Amino acid sequence: MTDVLFFVVWPYFATVFAILGAIYRYYADRFSYSSFSAQVLENRLLFWGNILWHYGVIVVLIPHLVGFLLPDLWATLVADPVRLYVMEVVGYIAAVAAIIGLTILIVRRTTNERVRAVTSPMDWVVVAALWVQLIVGFWVALAYRWGSEWYAHTIAPWLWSLVTLNPRTEFVRGLPFPVQLHAVVGFLLIALFPVSRLVHIIALPITYLWRPYQVVVWNTRRRLAVTVAALRGR
């Protein structure tokens, strides 16, 4: 029963909630599809934290996505020991970078009063979930070696069984607890997607390609007079 709850009911609930929640939020408050950057409040730590966090987590996520979408191809790639070693080492480095980057961002939000003032309770929930996911994932990578290989034969088939509406929990039932926890927290992040800043992931600014130029008018009298004169002279 526990297997069904955590590895069938929970993934479906998180996915459906994320899709419906994202659609509702878009139509109810589409301008909230943003990360609400606090860069003007503090930039130095934000810069280094963002660089390490984003590049690190992207490199970590790519093998997860490829291994899920193309499990046979991925299994073939990691069948070669050299490629497997390289992927494992690159994964370790990227995970450490992501952990350091997220830690910097947490320190920034806890030590800077202005940034802390604009941090909502949901922001802390998301940060905590991301932190747990990174630490558990790194723990799995260190304690249960060659995850790049066994992922394609355990997690990927389980995920595809959910996609095909034929859940098969036997693929994850016998896995170590940290691996199972990593999967459960992963779907927690999916569930948090529509109710947090994570939604900015799909907020691609493609409309900027055809949006009219902005006219910036200075609010000082002298510059305002110059701007108005220039506009009238067009």
Q: Rounded to whole angstroms, how far apart are CA atoms 62 and 77?
A: 14
Least confident among 36-40, 79-83, 93-97, 160-164: 36-40
pLDDT of residue 1: 72
- For residues 177 and 11, is the Cβ–Cβ distance under 8 A? no
Q: What is the CA radius of gyration of the chain?
A: 22
Q: Rounded to whole angstroms, how far apart are CA atoms 17 and 195?
A: 10
Helix axis angle, 177-192 to 10-29, nearest 10°: 20
Locate 138 and state its tokens.
Answer: 């790194």
Q: Which pLDDT band, with edges at 50, 70 and 90, does 25 fall under?
A: confident
pLDDT tens digits, residue range 117-152? 778 888 899 999 999 999 999 999 999 988 888 998
With H, G, I as helix, E, B as strand and everything else as coil, classify residue 234: coil
- For residues 101 and 54, is the Cβ–Cβ distance under 8 A? yes
The end-to-end CA distance of the chain, in Å, is 73
- From the list 157, 45, 165, the residue with the least C-alpha distance to 107 is 45
**Residues counted in the chain:** 234
Locate 91 and state its tokens.
Answer: 């994964």
From the candidate CATH numbers 1.20.950.20, 3.30.160.150, 3.90.700.10, 3.30.1330.90, the one assigned to the domain spanning 2-206: 1.20.950.20
pLDDT tens digits, residue range 195-214? 888 877 776 555 555 556 65
Regarding pTM above 0.85, the answer is: no
